[in-house]
Chain A
Amino acid sequence: MVERPVQHPLQPDVPAHSLNREGPGEAARREARTGLYVHVPFCAVRCHYCHFSTAAFSGDAVERWFAGIEREAAMRAPLAGGVAFTSLFFGGGTPSALSSRHFRRLWDLLRAHFTLAPNAEVTLEANPESAKAPLLAAWREAGVNRLSFGAQSFEPSELRSLGRIHDEARPVEAVALARAHGFERVSLDLMYGYPGHRPDAFARTLDRVGSLALEHVSAYCYIPEGVTPQGERALASGGPPVPDEAQAALYEQLSAAMEGMGLACYETSNFCRPDAESRHNLTYWLRRDYLALGPSAHACWRGERWGNRFSTADWTAALERGEDPASERERSPEASISEEIVMLGLRLSSGLLAADYTTEEWAGVERRFGEAFAAARDAGRLEAVPGGWRIPRAHRFLADDTIAWLAARARG
């Protein structure tokens, strides 16, 4: 049974000095224990930069997907016996493409198979365009307590070239409507560093974001994907679409603007007010257990990783044949667990902290990386913090270089 989640208290007026505290906070790290991800593949239209698993929307397609989710939930639920999930995340695709009736049906289906912890964080990714009153009410009613809107930009020309269906005013309305329906945790997705993205345009977008008084912002640096129209255009033009210098400058602009809004960086691309960290994403970065349902969804559970078939058709077909829809599955040896802990944990601003892992896991990290950490400190690549290590703030946009540097020096 799902209990009505209780909201985390928010601190509307953040004293400036608290921004110096590197997130994620202790409470968030403690609360992010086990995640459940549900992939809703449907989209009204496909954005030009997106390469995620999506499917055309039709009544029949939704029914087949439901049948698949039902089968997969039944298949995975025994793994989670006795587990109360601390977070549930509806991602996509566009979960907001489901009607309120469909959403309730999905919700009931999940409740029948899985248990959510009291205070569990329940996030739904929504297109600002589809955030209408009846849907918002249905989400809220069911127990969604966190919304993540894909805004990407507030510049009309940029929205068009990214293939977004909403106009620049729509996210503002969507956030206001969400607030009116009692959503106290709202996040916005932004994108920067795409071809032609200029600092002045980004500044205008960041200004609009600032006026929304959000708890959380995710801002992703554009990556050209060869399989997308935008990516093809960018790659066809030859050479790097945007110089590293330009993207790095935009990242600095972003960090400064976020700080101005009272949002501190707690992971490379994520910014929030104190205690508003996404618990669900933290389960990924802290390499805790998560289960996943739906096409292309990835799980990490009790030392094993698997990923479902990418296309909705293949995923559905496998389940209809009564087969496991995972197309890749591996049991992680201790060495790769340590490496993953370092790779993911060092993305967090607070760094890699012994307290976040089991004694065994940390012993593995120490054994393999202990010398490398010390060498990295001497090389100015890492800072020692009480109980762990972190990448200096100035190197945040170079994190992968240090992570690879460490991995190349790890033992065994």
Chain B
Amino acid sequence: MSDPRLKNIRNFCIVAHIDHGKSTLADRLLEVTHTLTPQQMKAQVLDDMDLEREKGITIKSHAIAMEWKAKDGVTYELNLIDTPGHVDFTYEVSRALAACEGAILVVDASQGIEAQTLSNYYLAADQKLTIVGALNKIDLPAARPDEIALEIEHYAHVPAEHVARISAKTGFGVPELLEQVIADVPPPSGDPDAPFRALIFDSKFDQYRGVVCLVRVVDGRIRAGEKIRFLSTGAMHEVTEVGKLRLKLDPASELHAGQVGYIVAGIKTVADARVGDTIVADDIAGMEMLPGFRETKSMVFSGLYPIDAEQYEDLKEALARLRLNDASLMYEPETSVALGFGFRVGFLGLLHLEIIQERLRREFMIDLIATTPSVVYHVLQTDGEFLKVDNPCNLPPPQNIEAIEEPMVLAHIVTPTEYLGNILKLCQERRGEHDGMEYIEETRVRIAYKLPLGEIVLDFYDRLKSVSRGYASLDYDIVGYQQSDVIKLDIMLNGEMVDALSAIVHRSKAYTYGSSLCEKLKELIPRQMFQVAVQAAIGGKVIARETIGAMRKNVIAKCYGGDISRKRKLLEKQKEGKRRMKQIGTVEVPQEAFLAVLKVDRS
């Protein structure tokens, strides 16, 4: 039962499959509640990173407090928590959901339920959130609201007639949806008079304040000057500021149970204010942690090396700066024979890798080479020693290996039935084990497959999109390790092994994979002054070879009088090209070639 003092608060989030209109609906909510002036309004207003807007995705969680005078005459405090939408950030999503009592489940009225709709629904249901169903884009001619409402009823257990019909784009039905949130979503429970306890659902680094913890206060109250403790680390801090989350941070005298807001407490890096951690009053002993906390675990590892060796220190500093605001970014120094000094960096997934690489390039002007991404293999050596290997170069020689295990996922794919054949084939190629199938409607099906993570982190999602013309959607969970016959495949350029290009692959695929990788490298490595042999090898035995012919011409022959502008322009262009290449022995290798592994057709 909710404390009467909390009855006018509603905490909720929006969950949806990508492109079903989550960010647009958030924009509309801010507009109808007059949280923003029309001048402040821009698309995807909560996504404040340029990259988020460009990619149309949400990378970090955000929250914003709104006020809404409902039809009952009462003004409600509404806290909207916006969550990341990508499978790389599932844990972050789950913590943001834990800060809410309700979720608006947005489904595109023409697309219907997708893999992420379901995975997000399950996450919300796990947190026992009240689900408010909403059919979006009902203004589009292809909309099938009645059919899709039934899907929602079937899968999300919201009566079809109770599913809101809206157009986030035009704003149609949005005020009514808010009324429904107030009516259906319960006010927060929690005791404002109990000892203070709050859940961190995200944290971000602010240049002036240090770390800003985004919290949901579960019990009690908190004010500036009070001392708090982080239960996962035991660290104590003094609160310097608390407040509400509006477009900007809006300081308040206190936060109390049921409220969503922020706490600033002189914390230096977000790694010390982890998502999911519990903050308690320092002077009360024996407080229990809120459920659900876990250490973030990197799933994909890649070596990041500056193309220009002199940028190593810059890279080190940039990674430290990014880590201030991204606790899931793990890294440690590493060296490569081919690439020199760099870092082994752990990522939540491939999207996370892309984002970090892009931010390093844009915000820190560091041109990077990322080595072949790898998952973590468990290796049992013949001497009984157990190793975790996240870099192919560290795989012990075959004679020292007793067994190798690789991480597995349970993947759920939702697809129109016409692409079923293609998708089953793709999953088989990726060493998948079929694990069930159910029809969502006559023409759409949800397939479950157990797959090696190593087979899906690289290009599986792209391939899935391409074999289903973009219609299939994917979601997956890690389900443990399984023994597997994987081996190390090496790449040599003119006889010299390039450690950065080594990959761990399944034995059954080594030959096809080796030869397609050689072909791809031949495409990606430009002609050099001499012929270059590209070879794939297993344990020193060459299994595939391509030859890149020597360059024959690269000169502007003409004189153009004393006008050297054309020569200079060409030089600038070629110079830039050269700068994006890494000299490996005598061969110049362009950046893209190191990610050739992502572009190889493995079927």
> Considering only CB atoms and an 8 Å cut-off, how many residues of chain B contact the other chain?
28
Min C-beta distance of B478 to chain A, whole Å = 43
Min C-beta distance of B244 to chain A, whole Å = 50
CA distance A284 to B579 in the complex (A): 27
Min C-beta distance of A9 to chain B, whole Å = 26
* B559-598 with Cβ < 8 A to chain A: 559, 561-565, 567-568, 570-571, 574-579, 583, 586, 588
Min C-beta distance of B212 to chain A, whole Å = 40
Which residue of chain A has the shortest Cβ distance to B581 in the bound complex? A408
A360 in contact (CB, < 8 A): no
A401 in contact (CB, < 8 A): yes
Which one of B312-320, B379-387, B416-424, B550-558 is at the A interface?
A: B550-558
B529 in contact (CB, < 8 A): yes
> Considering only CB atoms and an 8 Å cut-off, how many residues of chain A contact the other chain?
48
Q: Apart from A298-B564, A343-B568, A400-B554, what are 17 other A-B pairs with CB-CB below 8 Å?
A: A37-B562, A221-B557, A223-B556, A251-B553, A284-B561, A292-B561, A296-B563, A300-B562, A340-B564, A379-B586, A380-B529, A398-B555, A399-B554, A400-B570, A404-B571, A404-B575, A409-B578
CA distance A339 to B572 in the complex (A): 10
CA distance A296 to B555 in the complex (A): 23
- Given A220-B557, A400-B574: A298 touches B529 (CB 8 Å cut-off): no
A35 in contact (CB, < 8 A): yes
Contact B552 A407 (CB under 8 A): no
**Residues in B whose Cβ lies below 8 Å from that of A220:** 557-559
Tell me which of A340, A403, A404 has the highest count of chain B C-beta atoms within 10 A of its own C-beta. Answer: A404
Min C-beta distance of B54 to chain A, whole Å = 29
Which residue of chain A has the shortest Cβ distance to B556 in the bound complex? A400
Contact B557 A269 (CB under 8 A): yes
Tell me which of A35, A244, A340, A400 has the highest count of chain B C-beta atoms within 10 A of its own C-beta. Answer: A400
CA distance A283 to B561 in the complex (A): 10
Q: Can you pick out 11 interface pairs between chain A and chain B where the beta carbons lie within 8 Å of each other?
A: A220-B558, A268-B557, A281-B559, A298-B564, A340-B564, A401-B551, A401-B554, A404-B574, A404-B577, A404-B578, A407-B578
Per-residue contact bits, chain A 377-404, to B (CB 8 Å; 1 contact, 0 not): 0011100000000000001111111011
Contact B556 A395 (CB under 8 A): no
Contact B574 A401 (CB under 8 A): yes
Contact B558 A307 (CB under 8 A): no
CA distance A340 to B570 in the complex (A): 12
CA distance A343 to B559 in the complex (A): 13
**Residues in A whose Cβ lies below 8 Å from that of B588:** 405
* B475-511 with Cβ < 8 A to chain A: none
**Residues in B whose Cβ lies below 8 Å from that of A251:** 553
**Residues in A whose Cβ lies below 8 Å from that of B552:** 244-245, 247-248, 397-398
A54 in contact (CB, < 8 A): no
A150 in contact (CB, < 8 A): no
A297 in contact (CB, < 8 A): yes
Partner of A269, one of B554, B558, B574, B578: B558
**Residues in A whose Cβ lies below 8 Å from that of B578:** 404-405, 407-409
Contact B551 A398 (CB under 8 A): yes
* B101-119 with Cβ < 8 A to chain A: none
**Residues in A whose Cβ lies below 8 Å from that of B564:** 284, 298, 300, 305, 340, 343-344
A110 in contact (CB, < 8 A): no
Min C-beta distance of B558 to chain A, whole Å = 5
Contact B551 A307 (CB under 8 A): no
Which residue of chain B has the shortest Cβ distance to A396 in the bound complex? B555
CA distance A244 to B579 in the complex (A): 24
Min C-beta distance of B309 to chain A, whole Å = 11
Partner of A218, one of B559, B563, B565, B571: B559
CA distance A344 to B566 in the complex (A): 12
Min C-beta distance of A380 to chain B, whole Å = 7
* B266-290 with Cβ < 8 A to chain A: none
A299 in contact (CB, < 8 A): yes
A114 in contact (CB, < 8 A): no
CA distance A340 to B564 in the complex (A): 9
Contact B529 A248 (CB under 8 A): no
**Residues in B whose Cβ lies below 8 Å from that of A403:** 571, 574
CA distance A298 to B559 in the complex (A): 12
**Residues in A whose Cβ lies below 8 Å from that of B559:** 218, 220, 269, 281, 284
Min C-beta distance of A304 to chain B, whole Å = 13
CA distance A307 to B564 in the complex (A): 10
Contact B562 A343 (CB under 8 A): no
**Residues in A whose Cβ lies below 8 Å from that of B563:** 296, 298, 307
